[in-house]
């Protein structure tokens, strides 16, 4: 069962495997060398695509479509030198002859014998680790979700996207749409890299009252344009056809840092009803800055927050800001600031923290001292988390499901990265503090395919083999388990396959922790010696190489709530395990790469007996 609709795509959304590349009889081309490493390709009667071979460990070349009215933009593509890992399509204008300039590549490279032309591509899934029910692009690299907005029955998910390879680069806004947060239909690229720079992360709003003058109900998108020349500056684009096409604002940028700050990005915009104004929160190095506007175009600085707060040292990124009732009480509300930090994760790399407090329309005041850190998710693969706008009382978030320590080298090639499941956020009080819970949206229950396996209650003193998880298991299912610890010091279970690969999920009652151990989960040492690795900042995400094997092969843990019993809801997909404990009071998101699905499970404990009061597996 394929839940993600990735087929029948438009524009660049296609994958070409080398074996499926086809040339067109009508297209002819010639190559003229301007220097030893720069060539111009003149193409007569072009097909829809020129098919470019990629070698991931190669250095980047620059490919530029010449003579374009929108400007000439170099795209960074790792064209094959010695071998071809896969191909990517580069879309060509139709109805006229085309000229491409390719720089930083020698005449002897294998690229020149492997280039081809085609009007169609094979985009069938060939990846064993491609998720079934998490969104992934049909090919290429994806990271941060951004611009998420709900309008006219559709959830729009935009995301950081590289259509020219499965590593970070050439930042565009990809686009996919869903009516139920479960089934996603991929759309053409929404915003492409341009002469102002990469299209970094941001947000979107529905301008119901036409404050910007683009039309009543226009979707207005805010993004960071990033380049060495211009730095990081905030820009605007708008759509009057429900997000299908966007027009970039002619007077961009709309906001630049007043102090020349280098790291100034990821604008989150929302309507502040009490003062009838728009508010923007922007990450500014190690803090957040607030701006206000009456019309989405002209912005005035108001205040800043965050320097010295939370985990240190860190880089603030991808902010979000919203109001929620505490314990469901509409008369008691608090504001929540989501801050994605890199580095800063307690297990290394990137992670998401949050702050709870009050907002007066100008300034945010946090309820806790600077040294208090509240984690939104206790896993290693939960980052760039932001929420949909225009969803009424529901606050729905989605994370990018990876970590900057190894995101560029996980063992996939056709695509890299998936977005995490959508989660509904709420605030609850415990021990005199206010915390945020993340629980899977109710729509995800429709994933269940009708097959299930329900265990009768039992007690565990040592080990209990629970056998097969579910008939016909292909590695995608939902687990619901209720555990009463009784007098046990540890209580949990292992998901495993016939090769001995396994994931351990358990309660450490002595240390009051929820633990997930993926040390023996399958492939864990990919890229150990020489694969390209992303440094932990925006500017050097493509070329560094280190030995990072222990960055992946580890256990993560989260602080247990004060509850006496524990209800697990766990979603397992081809390459991920997402745990939600006691209504999302503890969430934990981790990637796994088993060489065959986990089909068996076994309960285990230490130091006493525990009771499994309920256990059911639902097929997906």
pLDDT tens string 205-253: 999 999 999 999 999 999 999 999 999 999 999 999 999 999 999 999 9
CATH of the domain at 196: 2.115.10.20
Which residues in 444-501 belong to E strands, given as ranges?
A: 452-455, 458-460, 463-468, 477-484, 490-496
- Res. 25 pLDDT band, cuts 50 70 90: low
Taking only the tens place, the pLDDT of each residue in 376-433 is 999 999 999 999 999 999 999 999 999 999 999 999 999 999 999 999 999 999 999 9
Q: Is residue 109 a part of any domain in this protein?
A: yes
Over range 354-365, report the average pLDDT.
Answer: 98
Shared domain check, 145 and 61: no
Domain endpoint, select from 83, 118, 153: 118
Shared domain check, 459 and 434: no
pLDDT given for residue 300 in this prediction? 98
Shared domain check, 177 and 114: no
pLDDT given for residue 353 in this prediction? 98
Shared domain check, 537 and 436: no
- Res. 26 pLDDT band, cuts 50 70 90: confident
Which residues in 349-476 belong to E strands, given as ranges?
A: 351-359, 364-366, 374-375, 383-387, 396-400, 415-416, 423-430, 433-440, 452-455, 458-460, 463-468
Give a three-class secondary structure readout of 69-109: CCCCCEEEECECCCCCCEEEEEECCCCCCEEEEEECCCCCC
Q: Is residue 590 within 8 Å of 577, Cβ to Cβ? A: yes
| Beta-sheet strand order (sheet of 198-207) | 198-207, 218-227, 231-239, 247-248
Q: Which two tokens stand for residue 287?
A: 């803090």
pLDDT given for residue 103 in this prediction? 97
Over range 101-126, report the average pLDDT.
Answer: 92
Over range 135-140, report the average pLDDT.
Answer: 96
- Res. 473 pLDDT band, cuts 50 70 90: very high
Taking only the tens place, the pLDDT of each residue in 46-59 is 999 999 999 999 99
Q: HSE of 347 in the Cβ direction (CA atoms, 13 Å)? A: 29
- Res. 24 pLDDT band, cuts 50 70 90: low
Alpha helices in 454-496 (DSSP H): none
Shared domain check, 472 and 332: no
User: What percentage of the chain exceeds 70 in pLDDT?
Assistant: 92
Over range 349-358, report the average pLDDT.
Answer: 97
Q: Which two tokens stand for residue 403?
A: 């970590």
Q: Which two tokens stand for residue 223?
A: 């993004």
Residue with tokens 């900042």: 537
Q: Is residue 10 a part of any domain in this protein?
A: no
Q: Which two tokens stand for residue 221?
A: 């998108």
Over range 132-153, report the average pLDDT.
Answer: 97
Q: Which residue has the higher pLDDT, 554 or 542?
A: 554
Cis peptide, bond prior to residue 343, ω within 30 of zero: yes
- Res. 121 pLDDT band, cuts 50 70 90: confident
Q: Is residue 435 within 8 Å of 374, Cβ to Cβ? A: yes
Q: What is the pTM of this model?
A: 0.93
Shared domain check, 556 and 480: yes
- Using alpha carbons only, give the angle 14, 55, 411 rounded to the nearest 5 degrees: 75
User: What percentage of the chain exceeds 90 in pLDDT?
Assistant: 89
pLDDT given for residue 21 in this prediction? 38
Q: Is residue 49 a part of any domain in this protein?
A: yes
Could you give the CA distance from residue 287 to residue 279 in angstroms, rounded to a whole number? 16
Its domain, for residue 153, covers 141-404+417-440
- Res. 11 pLDDT band, cuts 50 70 90: very low
Q: Is residue 211 a part of any domain in this protein?
A: yes
Please provide the average confidence, as pLDDT, over all residues in the chain: 92
Asked if pLDDT for residue 114 goes beyond 90, the answer is: yes
Q: Is residue 415 within 8 Å of 127, Cβ to Cβ? A: yes
Shared domain check, 98 and 78: yes
Shared domain check, 284 and 221: yes
Taking only the tens place, the pLDDT of each residue in 314-335 is 889 999 999 999 999 999 999 9
Shared domain check, 36 and 86: yes
Residue with tokens 């998108």: 221
Residue with tokens 């069962």: 1
CATH of the domain at 518: 2.60.120.560
Over range 567-596, report the average pLDDT.
Answer: 98
Give the DSSP letter string of 567-597.
EEEEEEETTEEEEEETTTTEEEEEE---SS-
Q: Is residue 483 within 8 Å of 610, Cβ to Cβ? A: yes
- Res. 587 pLDDT band, cuts 50 70 90: very high
Q: Is residue 6 a part of any domain in this protein?
A: no
Catalytic positions: 144
Q: Is residue 126 a part of any domain in this protein?
A: no
Q: Is residue 238 a part of any domain in this protein?
A: yes
Shared domain check, 297 and 184: yes
Q: Into how many domains does the chain fold?
A: 3
Shared domain check, 159 and 51: no
Taking only the tens place, the pLDDT of each residue in 251-296 is 999 999 999 999 999 999 999 999 999 999 999 999 999 999 999 9
- Res. 547 pLDDT band, cuts 50 70 90: very low
pLDDT given for residue 532 in this prediction? 38
Strand partners, 248: 237
Asked if pLDDT for residue 1 goes beyond 90, the answer is: no
pLDDT given for residue 545 in this prediction? 36
Could you give the CA distance from residue 367 to residue 357 in angstroms, rounded to a whole number? 5
Shared domain check, 268 and 228: yes
Q: Is residue 479 a part of any domain in this protein?
A: yes
């Amino acid at each position: 069962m394929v839940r993600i609709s990735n087929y029948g795509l438009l524009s660049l959304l296609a994958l070409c495997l080398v074996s499926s590349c086809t040339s067109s009889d009508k297209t002819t081309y010639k190559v003229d060398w301007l220097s030893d490493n720069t060539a111009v390709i003149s193409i007569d009667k072009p097909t829809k695509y020129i098919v470019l071979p990629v070698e991931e460990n190669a250095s980047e070349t620059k490919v530029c479509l010449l003579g374009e009215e929108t400007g000439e933009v170099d795209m960074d593509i790792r064209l094959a030198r010695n071998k071809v890992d896969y191909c990517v399509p580069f879309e060509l204008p139709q109805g006229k002859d085309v000229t491409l300039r390719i720089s930083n590549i020698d005449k002897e490279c294998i690229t020149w014998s492997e280039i081809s032309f085609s009007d169609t591509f094979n985009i069938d899934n060939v990846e064993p680790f491609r998720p079934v029910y998490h969104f992934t692009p049909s090919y290429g690299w994806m990271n941060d979700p951004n611009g998420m907005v709900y309008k006219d029955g559709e959830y729009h998910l935009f995301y950081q996207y590289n259509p020219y390879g499965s590593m970070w680069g050439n930042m565009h806004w990809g686009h996919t749409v869903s009516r139920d947060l479960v089934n996603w239909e991929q759309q053409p690229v929404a915003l492409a890299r341009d002469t102002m720079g990469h299209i970094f992360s941001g947000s979107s709003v529905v301008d119901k009252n036409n404050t910007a003058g683009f039309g009543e109900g226009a979707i207005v998108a805010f993004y960071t344009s990033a380049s060495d020349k211009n730095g990081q500056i905030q820009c605007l684009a708008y759509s009057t056809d429900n997000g299908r096409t966007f027009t970039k604002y002619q007077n961009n940028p709309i906001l630049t840092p007043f102090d020349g700050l280098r790291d100034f990005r990821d604008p989150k915009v929302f309507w502040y009803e009490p003062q009838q104004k728009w508010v923007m929160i922007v990450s500014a190095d190690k803090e957040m800055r607030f701006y206000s506007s009456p019309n989405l175009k002209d912005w005035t600085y108001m205040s800043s927050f965050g320097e010295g707060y939370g985990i240190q040292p860190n880089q603030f990124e991808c902010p979000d800001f919203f109001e929620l009732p505490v314990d469901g009480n509409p008369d008691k509300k608090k504001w929540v600031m989501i801050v994605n930090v890199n580095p800063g994760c307690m297990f290394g790399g990137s992670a998401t923290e949050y702050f709870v407090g009050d907002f007066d329309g100008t300034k945010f005041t946090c309820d806790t001292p600077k040294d208090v850190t509240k984690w939104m998710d206790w896993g290693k693969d939960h980052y760039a988390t932001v929420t949909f706008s225009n969803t009424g009382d529901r606050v729905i978030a989605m994370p990018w499901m990876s970590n900057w320590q190894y995101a560029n080298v996980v063992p996939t090639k056709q695509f890299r990265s998936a977005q995490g499941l959508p989660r509904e956020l709420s605030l609850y009080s415990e021990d005199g503090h206010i915390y945020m819970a993340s629980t899977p949206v109710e729509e995800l229950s429709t994933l269940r395919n009708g097959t299930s396996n329900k265990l009768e209650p039992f007690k565990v003193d040592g080990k209990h083999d629970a056998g097969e998880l579910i008939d016909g298991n292909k590695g995608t299912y939902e687990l619901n388990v209720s555990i009463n610890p009784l007098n046990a010091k540890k209580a949990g279970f292992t998901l495993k396959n016939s090769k001995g690969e396994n994931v351990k999920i358990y309660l450490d009652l002595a240390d009051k922790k929820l633990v997930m151990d993926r040390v023996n989960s399958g492939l864990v040492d990919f890229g150990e010696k020489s694969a390209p690795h992303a440094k932990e900042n925006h500017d050097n995400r493509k070329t560094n190489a280190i030995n990072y094997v222990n960055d992946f092969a580890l256990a993560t843990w989260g602080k247990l709530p004060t509850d006496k019993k524990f209800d697990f809801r766990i979603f397992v997909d081809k390459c991920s395990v997402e745990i939600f404990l006691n209504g999302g009071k503890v969430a934990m998101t981790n990637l796994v790469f088993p060489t065959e699905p986990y089909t068996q499970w076994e309960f285990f404990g230490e130091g006493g007996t525990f009771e499994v009061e309920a256990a059911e597996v639902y097929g997906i």
